Structure 1
């Protein structure tokens, strides 16, 4: 089961970083390459504990839907979302925010299990783990830009 972990320093207050990361509208703006949009559940604004959202996006040239639910939230510190329906066998995505002297340390941990057993494991090694790592890094860097330019 691959685990992707990425840390990013952001020169912005922890509450701004936290709220940007759980904002459905901002998620759409920071995932332009995959044309993600919320099509069910919470489709605008801030996600709260217990909320779910269904995303429609294009990955590998295929339009897909994925539903995730916020299963844990400690405001301005961390939240977790879990896939309840979608292309993966399973995933849990942890978002952590640590207040530091000159801003926020954002820590993303994405733990997933590919579908299709051994075929999925091969896909992980050939392309999926790199694809997901690049996707997470790209989104976090876009959040950093937004947070550092929020007044």
Structure 2
């Protein structure tokens, strides 16, 4: 299993960044490079506690589908999305939002995941996913930074 953190500063208040992070349209736009789209569950607007969404995308040239649920929710400081069904043996993504003292937000993503297939999955984590997944989160956060400044 892999655990990583990504810390991002965003020049917008925590409530605004929290709301943007739950907006499925903002998420879809942030993952445009992988052709990510919604194929089930919440299809527009902001997700709330208990909501699910099913995403479909292409990674490594292969189609992937994952359904995640908002399993914890404490606005505007924290929410968690977890895989209900999909390619990982485990996927848990904690989103933390704290004031930075200047009107902006320190956003901290904590991701725990494990690939399927036992030792082969662990090898995929070590060789590819341990670098690829944090890069995807940083890409998403760069989009959130731009969206936070525009709104």
Runs of 4+ displaced beyond 4 Å? none
| Post-superposition CA distance 1:50-101 (Å, at most 9, x none) | 0000001111111111000000000110100110100001110000000121
Q: Look up the match of 1:78.
A: 78
**TM-score (norm: length of structure 1):** 0.97
Q: Look up the match of 1:121.
A: 122
Matches of 2:114 and 2:64, distance apart in 1: 17
Q: Look up the match of 1:53.
A: 53
1:1-151 → structure 2 map (5 Å cutoff): 1-102=1-102, 103-150=104-151
List alignment gaps of at least 5 residues for structure 2: none
List alignment gaps of at least 5 residues for structure 1: none
Cα RMSD for the two superposed structures: 0.7
Matches of 2:35 and 2:145, distance apart in 1: 20
CA contact (8 A) 2:114 2:125 kept: no
- Pairwise CA distance, 1:149: 2.0
